[in-house]
Amino acid sequence: MIFDFDMIKNHYEKFTEKVDKARKVIGKPMNLAEKILYSHLFETQELREFKRGIDYVDFKPDRVAMQDATAQMALLQFMSAGRPKVAVPSTVHCDHLIIAKKGAVDDLSFAKDLNKEVYDFLSSVSNKYGIGFWKPGSGIIHQVILENYAFPGGMMIGTDSHTVNAGGLGMVAIGVGGADAVDVMSGMAWELRFPKFIGVKLTGKMNGWTSAKDVILKVAGILTVKGGTGAIVEYFGDGAKTISCTGKGTICNMGAEIGATTSIFGYDQKMYDYLVATGRKEIADMAENLKSYLTGDDEVYDEPEKYFDQLIEINLSELEPHINGPFTPDLATPISKFSEAVRENGWPEKLEVGLIGSCTNSSYEDISRAASIAKQAIEKKLKVKSEFTITPGSEQVRYTIERDGFIDLFEKIGGVVLANACGPCIGQWARHGAEKQEKNSIITSFNRNFAKRNDGNPNTHGFVASPEIVTAMTIAGRLTFNPLTDTLINEDGNEVFLDEPKGFELPPNGFAVEDMGYQEPAKDGSSIEVIVNPESERLQILEPFEPWDGNDFIGLKLLIKVKGKCTTDHISMAGPWLKFRGHLDNISNNLLTGAVNYFNNKTNEVKNQLTGEYGPVPLTQRDYKAKGIGTIVVGDENYGEGSSREHAAMEPRHLGVKVILVKSFARIHETNLKKQGMLALTFDNKEDYDKIQEDDTIDVIGLKEMSPGKPLTIILHHKDGTSEEIKANHSYNESQIEWFRAGSALNIIRRQFNK
């Protein structure tokens, strides 16, 4: 089955003309990412040369993907936009809410019970609005996208940071917040600052134990977790053509760990083969006909230093396997130096658990290479010394590797196959003993390894490597083992050596699957009822936010003056709150509970100016709201950095906070605040932050005349009866001011539709 064939055909029919036109306008050769961006401009966006890293540009992506944790709020918002159907092909994937505990069958059945109301909601809302629904057990969003939806030269957004995985099939694929997904699904423009471009030239060919994962582990070591910020990373060179399509996906996937907007490879034979193997020969043939357009121009790759903002070169023939971590994905150590690093740093040498799979590394190639190590272990009389889990990326991969005997091999050496879901990668791992918080080591083929990410234990040292290295380490049971040089002692007491892994890029007998777990949406969803239990604790239909009343904000109370770092985690914590992601009122009970109060250095303890008592932030705010009193939150630098979750903007809006006034904002959070109808302001003079006192009552003047670039006036009324006037800036453009006036961007969408 080929999804959205007409949309792709239509895109390809116009692609060459759009690229030629753009090349003429900018007057120079283009890299692939530029070709895709310039060919996806929104109808009203003027075609001109955009300044890299500066200009904001309106785009029209081809499709949207959402995972179950983020889809809830995105779709609740979409429902209130008043559209009868999504404007672009969209899908929902149930992968994040499955807890790994016993194994695939038990865990999946437990998840279906535990999350029934969320799954029923997502299934019915998808059915109604024309959205493809992938049931729990069908696979991890990014693997399913690669297998079914990604296509060279396309552009997509997804409500998950590893959406970038689809760059492995030549797509510009970008992770966003739910409000952005709503814009695109509603047929509106999607805005992005035009990126910079980092070129990675790959030469040579990988061999032995080295695999695609090692390319990105190496790049992460070079660029660090921030080095890709605001940039698209484009891989090219002869070496790139030797890497399988799914290997390219792995490299792009983990580009999220260097902060890159996305990563991409140009179309080549490997992509053709993968499209054919996954049942999309017609698309492969269309792409083949456009192949010079689906890669960067020759001039760019011939003289990359002239056209990219930064250039990195890696010789694949010399690339060693790497192990990155602990606690950060950019601490890269080549395997030859790793045992030394373990000893020098005092990292726990004993390996407790090895985990392979996840959206990053669960292709047929990954699994077959890891299975070749398992096979040798059986033949050489070895068993795993650490616990070993395998997470297939999709039901298609799981079914095929079972048919081909790989699951059997893993189980024979002591492996446990988990559900086709995120599980331990997102902390959905009921790991026995984690609560004891003991210092220990695990190694995964996942992408992120921040403290607490996998099992909630801050003392778990998480290392990241390729699936084949993880498998070998798990057999050895210790981190100081180097499979390239070291031997192991088998059950008979003999010294044995693991030969280098061998695998298949694609299954020699083709992919197979009985039930992909896909639900096609209704052609006409108008009579379908979306299932939300009004008593639900996890889901709540959204009421539109009230429009601005046309007056200045007078008499706002200071809710909290936040001290220091305040990420979206401090504003709306994750962990146990994940289950309330679809219930705005309930999740609002975590509002700013992680933020530090400037006046007492405590979290979640602020003064209620009406009673003089100190209490939790959400309760204090609810008291102001009940009495009809608006409030203001004051913050420090880079307020709202971190994840793009819109809950961090919706919660204050829902509870009656009117203004967020800070020294500076993280861009996505600032946009999210604007979208939800909040006033997001920055101090004109950052030192004015010091003027804010705990008992201040605050006015914001000038809202009626609010216009782009024009500062607003803030009057601080102190408890001692004195007042001070300060200036605050904003970055609202004309249409964003309309969002504020209308109460939210969504209210505008709804209004347009109701015309």
Interacting residues toward ligand SF4 by CB under 6 A:
95, 140-142, 160, 162, 358-359, 422, 425-426, 446-447
For the CB of residue 360, give the shortest distance to ligand SF4 in the complex, in Å: 6
Looking at beta carbons only, is 42 or 518 nearer to ligand SF4?
Answer: 518
For the CB of residue 501, give the shortest distance to ligand SF4 in the complex, in Å: 22
For the CB of residue 358, give the shortest distance to ligand SF4 in the complex, in Å: 4
Looking at beta carbons only, is 141 or 479 nearer to ligand SF4?
Answer: 141
The DSSP result for 51-70, as a single string, is PTTT-EEEE--SEEEEEHHH
Q: Cβ(531)–Cβ(120) under 8 Å?
A: yes
For the CB of residue 213, give the shortest distance to ligand SF4 in the complex, in Å: 13
Looking at beta carbons only, is 68 or 268 nearer to ligand SF4?
Answer: 68
Instruction: Indicate which residue of 11, 96, 162, 583 is catalytic.
Output: 96
Identify which of 354, 422, 356, 357 has the alpha carbon closest to the alpha carbon of residue 387: 354
| Residue 613 DSSP code | -
Looking at beta carbons only, is 470 or 749 nearer to ligand SF4?
Answer: 470
For the CB of residue 122, give the shortest distance to ligand SF4 in the complex, in Å: 16
Structural element, H or E, at residue 273: helix 269-277
For the CB of residue 254, give the shortest distance to ligand SF4 in the complex, in Å: 9
263 is catalytic: no
645 is catalytic: yes
744 is catalytic: no
Neighbours of 123 (CB within 10 A): 19
Looking at beta carbons only, is 127 or 457 nearer to ligand SF4?
Answer: 457
Instruction: Indicate which residue of 11, 448, 647, 654 is catalytic.
Output: 448
343 is catalytic: no
Cα-Cα-Cα-Cα dihedral of 303, 304, 307, 310, to 10°? -150
Sign for the pseudo-dihedral over CA of 649, 653, 657, 659:
positive
Please, what's the b/e burial string for 189-201 (b: 16 or more CB within 10 A of its CB; e: otherwise)?
bbbbbbbbbbbbb
Q: Are strands 310-315 and 196-203 parallel, antiparallel or unpaired?
A: parallel
95 is catalytic: yes
Instruction: Indicate which residue of 4, 68, 95, 107 is catalytic.
Output: 95
Instruction: Indicate which residue of 461, 645, 654, 717 is catalytic.
Output: 645
- Angle at Cα 374 formed by Cα 369 and Cα 375, nearest 5°? 95
Phi/psi at 132 (5° precision): -65, 135
Rounded to whole angstroms, the Cα distance separating 187 from 78 reads 11
HEC-encoded secondary structure of 316-351: HHHCCCEEECCCCCCCEEEHHHHHHHHHHHCCCCEE
Q: Cβ(42)–Cβ(59) under 8 Å?
A: yes
Count Cα neighbours of 648 within 13 Å in the Cβ-side half-sphere: 30
Instruction: Indicate which residue of 123, 441, 466, 643 is catalytic.
Output: 643
Looking at beta carbons only, is 142 or 730 nearer to ligand SF4?
Answer: 142
Looking at beta carbons only, is 409 or 426 nearer to ligand SF4?
Answer: 426
Sign for the pseudo-dihedral over CA of 610, 615, 618, 622:
negative
160 is catalytic: yes
For the CB of residue 111, give the shortest distance to ligand SF4 in the complex, in Å: 14
Catalytic residues: 95-96, 160, 448, 643, 645
